[in-house]
Every structure is written in C-alpha cells, then in structure tokens.
Amino acid sequence: MTEKQFLTELKKRKIYYFRSGNNIMLNCIFHNEKNPSMGVNFKKYTFQCFSCGVTGNILKLERALFEGEIEEDFEEEGIVDEVLKTTAKLRHRIDNINMNCSKMTIKILINFDIEEFPVVKNHIQYTEYLYNRKINSKSWKKWNIRCGEWKGVERILIPMYDEYKRLVAIYGRAIQDDKDIRIRKSKHADVGKILFGLEHLKGKKKVVLVEGELDTIYLQQFGIPAISLGTKRPTECQLMKMAKYFSKVFLSLDGDVPKRTYKKGKNIILGVNDILREIAEAVPVRIIKLPKDKDPNELTTKEVKDLYKEFIK
C-alpha cells in the first residue's frame, strides 16, 4: 500500500489524522487515547506510537487498522513480545508512560520546601530585578514566583511544573552577580521531562520554543504561546510531548546561538541547525530569527509584535 492509498483508506473510514514532519499522526489502536500519538512514516515504512511504544512495519499496521487482525497478526509472528520489549525500553527511558496513557511517572521535587520562601511582594530588591527583566506583577501571581536567599545568594525562585501542574523543579536566578553559580535548578529534578510553561497552554496547537524560563514568561505576557526546555537540547520525552500537544513549533532561540554546532573546550555548543533537525523529526518546525545578541526577554514591545505578529490578536 502506498502513502496515497493509505490516506484514501483513512478518509474512507473517517479516521482523523494530521501531518507532523515525515509522520502521519493518528490515534493509536493499541491503547485508548484522545490525542493522536501514533506516527506512520512511509519513508521508513514503519509506524510507532510515541505514548505506549508499539512499533512495527506498515504492513502490520494496515492489517490491524483496516482488517481488524490485531491479536492474530501480532501473536502469530511473535510481534507481541517485540512490542512489549520496545515498550519496556521506552518506559525505562521516560519513566513509565503506561499502556493506558495516564499521567507520566515523574520524580516530584524533594528536599525543597517552596513555602519557606515568600511570594514576591513588597520585597524591593526582587521587585526591581523582575521589573528590569520586564516581568510584570500579574506574572508573579500566575507563575507563583518566590524570592529569598538560596545557597547563600539572593535569588528569584520560579517553580517549574509539568502539564498536570505537579511541582518538578525550582529555577533560581541570582538577582546580583554571582561568581559561583548564577542559575541553579534543584537537585533530583526531571527537567528533561517537562516543557516549561506547557500547563498554561491548554488547547493551543502552535507554540513558540525559546531558551529560558524568563523568556517564556515574558512572551506569555503578550498572549504568545511560549515554552522552554530547561535543557541544552530537546530530550526524547520533550520531543514526544511536542508531537502530542502541538501541530507546529516555532523555534525562537537567543540571537547569539550559533548556526552550527561547535566544540568549546570540553563543551559542545549546539547550533540552531542541529536543534531544528531534532525537533523536525517529531513535529513541523519553523525559525523565528531574533536580532543578534538579543534574547526574547530583551525585545521591545514593538519587536515582539513584529516578530510574533501571527500570535498576537
């Protein structure tokens, strides 16, 4: 069966689908779900569910999808064992996404009591810092921003939640020069399993991906659906989440991010092209290029409205 024939069969049976990069996305028939997470790739002639981990060639999917031969077909050639092995590996990598597509098991923040720190209000030095970074008072409440001394340094503290509003990490940024570590994230936090800001974007189909947490907060003040990774490069879990929740990603990294990856001492500085390539494997992506040496949080109101005009009503 060709890709054209496959799409014809989907339309005939009124099976909802959409395109995401090289994938045709539809609901997985091997577990119950509301949001399409199964990708069918005719270039590789394979399919894979990014939630439960089921994978195989398109011929097997055709029989299961159009002829209802799920159990027979998969049992007769030992495919069930392969499915379970694949799913087990996927679960290990992203900490137990189960077959019912329920909430992902994640290490909830430990050894850090956010309630010990006050909400930013009437704390002048912290207030001034946030205003200088263009973060307004409405955002202090929306993002539950706190302040106080952490690791011997005065810091703005931003709780990081997953899409189910579970506390996963604390992002702490020094309000003055910190010769030791300016930015800290709490230990034992699974920041690679969340997209910062996703909990505020219910129902959005397009998203702007930026580098930092303050960039995310600043753009959301304009009603722009922004998220950030909290990691140097997108993890497999973050890519799966992008594919699950969004039909298109607009990559908007800081203006000083290099075009190509290069090595600096022992560190690898990832370039825009490689980040773009990784995201494009999961979901269609487009670049919104920022002025040189500027990040989203440094843009003027006019620059924001010009660069992200399709997101601003």
DSSP 8-state assignment for residue 31: S
pLDDT the model gives residue 110: 60
Q: What is the CA radius of gyration of the chain?
A: 22
pLDDT the model gives residue 195: 93
pLDDT the model gives residue 84: 36
- Give the C-alpha separation, 189 to 19, whole Å: 33
C-alpha count within 13 angstroms, C-beta hemisphere, residue 197: 26
pLDDT the model gives residue 47: 87
108-192, what's its fold? Answer: DNA primase DNAg catalytic core, N-terminal domain (3.90.980)
Q: What 3-state class would DSSP assign to 115?
A: helix
Strand 248-251 relative to strand 285-287, pairing: parallel
pLDDT the model gives residue 137: 94
pLDDT the model gives residue 268: 65
pLDDT tens track, the chain, 313 positions: 788 888 988 888 888 889 888 889 988 877 767 778 888 988 888 888 877 677 778 877 887 777 643 333 333 333 333 333 433 443 344 333 333 333 445 666 666 788 889 999 889 999 999 999 999 999 999 999 999 998 888 999 999 988 888 888 888 899 987 655 677 777 777 788 889 999 999 889 999 999 889 999 999 999 999 999 877 788 888 888 888 888 899 999 877 676 777 666 766 666 777 788 888 877 888 889 888 888 899 999 999 999 999 898 7
pLDDT the model gives residue 45: 83
Architecture of the domain whose range is 3-94 = Alpha-Beta Complex (3.90)
Same fold across 108-192 and 195-313: no
pLDDT the model gives residue 177: 73
195-313, what's its fold? Answer: Dna Topoisomerase Vi A Subunit; Chain: A, domain 2 (3.40.1360)
pLDDT the model gives residue 274: 78
pLDDT the model gives residue 243: 84
| DSSP-H helix ranges across the chain | 3-12, 58-66, 70-76, 79-94, 124-132, 137-142, 213-220, 236-245, 272-280, 301-307
Residue 281 CB: number of other CB atoms within 10 A?
16
pLDDT the model gives residue 95: 37
Map tokens 């994640």 to a residue: 106
pLDDT the model gives residue 129: 94
pTM equals 0.66
Q: Where are the domains of the chain?
A: 3-94, 108-192, 195-313
